[in-house]
């Protein structure tokens, strides 16, 4: 028994470069930074080396960490485009995937194809390149459950890693559908070979300071809208899990380097109604920002929700519904610790202020 456990453990050579796909992204940038600060060599893939508005913060890291950071161009939709970056690496952290919920025009083209085909492309690269021993995939709690109302079907209305999203589709919550399809495909592809194992991180809604001044990410946009008073008349009574971007980044690194790490990991600090975030801001910053002080009645959410990307189906199945997430496994399997959410939110506001984004 002990022997078989040992055989299953994967030790990653800490001197070899770690590949981070979508390295310019909100979460990935922190993964890249922490790896570099820890003395690791990093290969970060970006869509375009010419688009400095998206990668300036990585160029700044390169200035500091020199040859320990190499940037590669790769696109999820271009077969083989990750090969060069993965050559000779044992650990691949695959974060790249489109993340947006509002303004979806063609869900298949904008969300499903890059998530699913992109995951296939990255994992086919891992199949081709014999140095790869472990893949860490950024999935989401969106692959664990779809609507909050689904929690009525699980014990204690609490989702665990055993659960899968069975209710999202191309037309209802397509982002969640894209994450579900991509994670399922990753497990299928992993099972067909034995050289590399798969460890999955399933974060809830990620908040906290960004390393870039980009405003196009969903997490950063949510905070900007909150601070700019978009929700001043009230927020939907919607429970969500929240987690600090720095803890999510650490979870990926722990997943990569913990030899016996296994399976999926709900990575979430706390479940709160959206109003809870507004309360943290109000408590610290007083009336500086026009944050909401109450919830919108559900009939009103049906009316105004579509302007914020909340369909009627979403409102029906999520507003006022219970939902809990069990994060115990991330603490035991990865030894992950979570920062308190008020620190996350306050640091996020301070970073946006400091970067002149408000
Ligand atoms: P970002 O939008 O900041 O990052 C997404 C990354 O994916 C960017 O680097 C983007 O590149 C890249 N990407 C998108 N499409 C392509 C493509 N066709 N080819 C190559 N790269 C592509 O979002 P996050 O950092 O928040 O998200 C990162 C991951 O975390 C995603 O997998 C997301 O689903 C997951 N996640 C995020 C949560 C959150 O609350 N933020 C919660 C749970 C999971 P570019 O910089 O060029 O746009």
Structure tokens at 42: 């990093």
Secondary structure of 21-46 as H, E, C letters: ECCCCHHHHHHHHHHHHCCCCEEEEE
Residue nearest to atom 10 of ligand 1 (CA): 22
Q: Rounded to the nearest whole angstrom, what is the distance from the C-alpha of residue 300 to the centroid of ligand 1?
A: 31
Q: Rounded to the nearest whole angstrom, what is the distance from the C-alpha of residue 201 to the centroid of ligand 1?
A: 14
Predicted local confidence at residue 1, as pLDDT: 41
Pairing of strands 197-203, 134-138: parallel
Separation CA 300–CA 320 (nearest Å): 13
Predicted local confidence at residue 23, as pLDDT: 98
Structure tokens at 89: 């690496």
Closest ligand 1 atom to residue 54 Cα is 46
Q: Rounded to the nearest whole angstrom, what is the distance from the C-alpha of residue 189 to the centroid of ligand 1?
A: 21
Q: Rounded to the nearest whole angstrom, what is the distance from the C-alpha of residue 298 to the centroid of ligand 1?
A: 31
Closest ligand 1 atom to residue 207 Cα is 40
Residue nearest to atom 1 of ligand 1 (CA): 25
Separation CA 341–CA 347 (nearest Å): 10
Separation CA 340–CA 344 (nearest Å): 7
Structure tokens at 352: 């946006």
Domain boundaries, the chain: 2-207+242-269+324-339
Residue 347 DSSP symbol: H
Q: Rounded to the nearest whole angstrom, what is the distance from the C-alpha of residue 98 to the centroid of ligand 1?
A: 5
Residue nearest to atom 18 of ligand 1 (CA): 76
Q: Tell me the pLDDT of the chain (358 aa) as tens digits.
A: 444 444 568 899 999 999 999 999 999 999 999 999 999 999 999 999 999 999 999 999 999 999 999 999 999 999 999 999 999 999 999 999 999 888 889 999 999 999 999 999 999 999 999 999 999 999 999 999 999 999 999 999 999 999 999 999 999 999 999 999 999 999 999 999 999 999 999 999 999 999 999 888 899 999 999 999 988 889 999 999 999 999 999 999 999 999 999 999 999 999 999 999 999 999 999 999 999 999 999 999 998 888 777 889 999 999 999 999 999 999 999 999 999 999 999 999 999 999 988 8
Could you identify the residue written with the tokens 């640091």? 347
Which CATH architecture best describes the domain 2-207+242-269+324-339?
Answer: 3-Layer(aba) Sandwich (3.40)
Question: Ligand 1, residues 49, 55, 58, 96: which to mutate, most atoms within 8 A of Cβ?
Answer: 96
Beta bridge partners of 159: 325
Closest ligand 1 atom to residue 24 Cα is 9
Q: Say if residues 118 and 140 touch (Cβ distance below 8 Å).
A: no
Q: Rounded to the nearest whole angstrom, what is the distance from the C-alpha of residue 29 to the centroid of ligand 1?
A: 10
Angle between helices 218-227 and 274-285 (to 10 degrees): 60
170: closest CA among 21, 319, 313?
A: 313
200: helix, strand or coil: strand
Question: Ligand 1, residues 21, 22, 56, 344: which to mutate, most atoms within 8 A of Cβ?
Answer: 22
Q: Say if residues 207 and 348 touch (Cβ distance below 8 Å).
A: yes
Residue 354 CA: distances (Å) to CA of 25, 212, 215: 20, 12, 14
Predicted local confidence at residue 2, as pLDDT: 45
Residue nearest to atom 4 of ligand 1 (CA): 25
Predicted local confidence at residue 305, as pLDDT: 83
Predicted local confidence at residue 8, as pLDDT: 67
Structure tokens at 302: 């049906």
Structure tokens at 102: 């509002």
| Residues within a 6 A CB radius of ligand 1 | 22, 24-28, 46-47, 54, 75-77, 95-99, 114, 138, 140, 179, 203, 205-206, 217-219
């Amino acid at each position: 028994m002990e022997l078989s456990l040992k055989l299953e453990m994967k030790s990653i050579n800490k001197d070899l470069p770690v590949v981070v796909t979508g390295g310019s992204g909100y979460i990935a940038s922190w993964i890249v930074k922490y790896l570099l600060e820890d003395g690791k060599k990093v290969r970060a893939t970006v869509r375009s080396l010419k688009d400095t508005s998206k990668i300036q913060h990585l160029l700044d890291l390169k200035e500091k960490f020199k040859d320990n950071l190499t940037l590669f161009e790769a696109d999820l939709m271009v077969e083989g485009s990750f090969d060069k970056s993965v050559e000779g690496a044992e650990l691949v952290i695959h974060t790249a995937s489109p993340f947006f919920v509002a303004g979806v025009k063609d869900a298949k083209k904008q969300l499903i194809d890059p998530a699913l085909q992109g995951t296939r492309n990255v994992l086919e690269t891992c199949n081709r390149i014999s140095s790869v021993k472990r893949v860490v995939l950024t999935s989401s709690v969106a692959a664990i459950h779809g609507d909050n109302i689904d929690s009525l079907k699980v014990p204690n209305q609490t989702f665990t890693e055993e659960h899968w999203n069975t209710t999202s589709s191309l037309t209802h919550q397509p982002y969640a559908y894209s994450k579900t399809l991509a994670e399922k495909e990753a497990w299928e592809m992993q099972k067909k070979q034995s050289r590399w194992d798969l460890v999955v991180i399933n974060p809830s809604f990620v908040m906290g300071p960004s390393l870039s001044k980009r405003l196009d990410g969903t997490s950063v946009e949510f905070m900007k809208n909150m601070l700019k008073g978009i929700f001043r008349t009230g927020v939907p009574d919607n429970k969500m899990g929240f987690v600090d971007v720095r803890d999510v980044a650490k979870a990926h690194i722990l997943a990569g380097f913990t030899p016996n790490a296994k399976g999926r990991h709900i990575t979430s600090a706390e479940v709160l109604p959206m109003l809870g975030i507004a309360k943290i801001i109000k408590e610290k910053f007083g009336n500086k920002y026009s944050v909401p002080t109450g919830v919108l009645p559900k009939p009103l959410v049906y009316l105004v929700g579509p302007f914020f990307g909340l369909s009627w189906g979403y409102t029906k199945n999520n507003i006022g519904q219970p939902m809990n997430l069990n994060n115990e496994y991330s603490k035991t399997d990865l030894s992950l610790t979570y920062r308190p959410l008020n620190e996350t939110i306050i640091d996020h506001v301070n970073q946006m202020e400091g970067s002149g984004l408000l």
